[in-house]
Amino acid sequence: MTCCLVRDLLPLYIEGDCETETERYISRHLDTCGECKRVYHMMKEPLDFGEAEMKAPDGYEDEERRFQERYYGRLLTNAACMFGAVFLIMLALKLLN
pLDDT tier, 1 (very low <50, low <70, confident <90, very high otherwise): low
Q: Please tell me the pTM assigned to this model.
A: 0.48
* Closest of 41, 44, 36 to residue 15, by C-alpha: 44
d(CA 57, CA 18): 48
pLDDT of residue 97: 75
List the chain domain ranges: 3-44
Q: What is the pLDDT of residues 16-52, one digit of tens each?
A: 888 999 999 999 999 999 999 999 999 988 877 766 6
Tens of pLDDT, residues 52-82: 677 888 888 899 999 999 999 899 999 999 9
